[in-house]
């Protein structure tokens, strides 16, 4: 059983070009991971995900625990077989979704008690059960069970919650089955406090993980504050381990995160925005429902070489969206995910050739909206 490892191949300033070796294949970093909440990246065939360059996707403990149930997925051969995706899958541990989706919930030392947002049934997630669920799903990268601290929060709450997440992290390490080749990542908390972030990193390093995520960001804080927390936290993490910032972000966030030494990202933005008709381009976002696209025969982005931009006009995509056609979500998602993957591929190349700062300057200069 090949175990998990990370190669640091190039550095350009604090930007890093690396390679993850997982039990289900290699992942070139920096990488953007499309979100597949309910065992599907919405509106995308797995074959199309591969065509646009997706190397690894996310799934979620919270959703799959509730439906169809992790034991059912295990009995059906695991998540990869279930959804016909033979590349790596990273699973989040469920805590974040309990807070952002679940109804009534109660958090204590044991874990989180909550009611299903589907049928109100009572459930409990603990560090031990979250790990067991992710193992049952067949996850290749398992996330520690943590509390994503809301923002804003009192310093006292941040300190207490972060200390509890550190205790939970130790329980996750203990709960992991030995050597099944899947990796376990710790998640740094600490809110927006430099000393509490440093304490959280120290706690996790003492336990030891194959990779380290920075949690508690993209929770309503400004981009500047998010970057400041990255500036404090990245240098404290081991240089030879992958760093993953959870729930981030816009194309600009990805460029600024890579510049600060982040290797892995996930965000629902490209897929969710696509279904709402918001499309990403090299010159900024456009909302395809606008009347100005009624007779516009040009592609979404003249600089994009994706299947959608090669075959369909803005006028047609606007028509599909206005008509609430299923193909609208399919084509918009295909283009947005292709844009995100291309952005990451360009950053990987730029770091390799030592031209990341030039890439960043050109990326920022192009951000305007066409008249």
Ligand X SMILES: CNc1nc2c(CCNCC3CCCC3)c3nc(N)[nH]c(=O)c3cc2[nH]1
Question: Per CB under 6 A, does 143 bind ligand X?
Answer: yes
Pick from ligand X, Zn ion, none: which does 247 bind, CB < 5 to 8 A by kind? ligand X
- The interface partner of residue 330, options being Zn ion, ligand X, none and the CB cut-off 5 to 8 Å by kind, is none
Query: Taking the mean position of all CA atoms in its chain, how far away is CA 40?
Result: 14
- Burial of residue 128 (number of CB atoms within 10 Å: 0-12, 13-18, 19+): middle
Tokens of 34: 């499309």
CB of 309 to Zn ion, least distance (A): 3
Is 146 annotated to bind a ligand? Reply is yes
Q: Out of 247, 257, 261, 299, point to the residue binding ligand X (CB under 6 A).
A: 247
Q: Which of 37, 162, 200, 333 is in the footprint of ligand X by CB under 6 A?
A: 37
What positions carry a catalytic annotation?
Answer: 92, 266
95's contact among ligand X, Zn ion, none, with CB below 5 to 8 A by partner kind, is ligand X
- Applying CB under 5 A, the residues found at the interface with Zn ion are 304, 306, 308-309, 335
**196 Cβ contact partners less than 8 Å away, ≥ 6 residues apart:** 155, 158, 159, 162, 189, 190
94 annotated as a binding-site residue: yes
103: number of Cβ within 10 Å:
10
Q: Which of ligand X, Zn ion, none is residue 101 near (CB under 5 to 8 Å by kind)?
A: none
Q: Is 216 annotated as a binding-site member?
A: yes
218 is known to lie in a ligand binding site: no
Contacting residue, 31, 54, 83, 92, with ligand X by CB under 6 A: 92
Determine if residue 293 is labeled as part of a ligand binding site: no
Which of 29, 60, 129, 162 is the binder for ligand X (CB under 6 A)? 60
Tell the smallest beta-carbon distance from residue 206 to ligand X (Å).
Answer: 20
Residue 306 touches which of ligand X, Zn ion, none (CB < 5 to 8 A by kind)?
Answer: Zn ion
Question: Any contact of residue 146 with ligand X (CB under 6 A)?
Answer: yes
What's the rounded Cα separation, in Å, for the pair 146 and 127? 8
Known binder of ligand: residue 130?
no
Instruction: State the CB neighbour count (10 A cutoff) for residue 285.
Output: 15
Binding-site ranges for ligand X (CB under 6 A): 35, 37, 58, 60, 92-93, 95-96, 143, 146, 148, 187, 215-219, 246-247, 266, 268
Annotated binding site: 92-96, 146, 189, 216, 304, 306, 309, 335
Which residues are documented as binding site for substrate? 92-96, 146, 189, 216
């Amino acid at each position: 059983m090949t175990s998990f490892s990370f190669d640091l191949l190039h550095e350009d300033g604090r930007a890093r070009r690396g390679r993850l070796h997982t039990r289900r294949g290699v992942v070139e970093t920096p990488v953007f991971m499309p979100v597949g909440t309910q065992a599907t990246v919405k509106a995308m065939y797995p074959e199309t995900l591969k065509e646009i360059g997706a190397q690894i996707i996310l799934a979620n403990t919270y959703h799959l625990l509730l439906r169809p149930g992790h034991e059912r997925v295990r009995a059906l051969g695991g998540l990869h077989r279930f959804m016909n995706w033979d590349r790596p899958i990273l699973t989040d541990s469920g805590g974040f979704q309990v807070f952002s989706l679940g109804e009534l919930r109660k958090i204590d030392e044991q874990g989180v008690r909550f009611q299903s947002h589907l049928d109100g049934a009572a459930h409990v997630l603990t560090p031990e059960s979250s790990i067991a669920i992710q193992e049952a799903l067949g996850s290749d990268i398992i996330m520690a069970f943590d509390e994503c601290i809301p923002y804003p929060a009192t310093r006292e709450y941040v300190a207490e919650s972060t200390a509890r997440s550190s205790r939970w992290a130790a329980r996750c390490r203990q709960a992991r089955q030995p050597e099944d080749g899947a990796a376990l990542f710790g998640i740094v908390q600490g809110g927006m406090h430099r000393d509490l972030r440093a304490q959280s990193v120290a706690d996790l390093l003492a336990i030891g993980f194959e990779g380290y995520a920075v949690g508690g960001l993209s929770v309503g804080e400004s981009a500047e504050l998010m970057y400041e927390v990255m500036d404090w936290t990245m240098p404290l993490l081991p240089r030879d381990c992958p760093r993953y910032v959870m729930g981030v972000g816009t194309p600009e966030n990805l460029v600024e995160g890579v510049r600060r030494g982040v290797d892995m990202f996930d965000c629902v933005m490209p897929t969710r925005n696509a279904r709402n008709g918001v499309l990403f381009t090299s010159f900024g976002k456009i909302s395809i429902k606008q009347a100005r696209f009624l007779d516009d025969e040009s592609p979404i982005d003249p600089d994009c070489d994706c299947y959608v931009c090669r075959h369909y006009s803005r006028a047609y995509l606007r028509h599909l969206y206005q008509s609430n056609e299923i193909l609208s979500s399919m084509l918009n998602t295909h283009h947005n995910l292709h844009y995100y993957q291309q952005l990451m591929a360009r950053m990987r190349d730029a770091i390799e050739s030592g031209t990341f700062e030039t890439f960043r300057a050109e990326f920022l200069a192009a951000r305007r909206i066409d008249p």
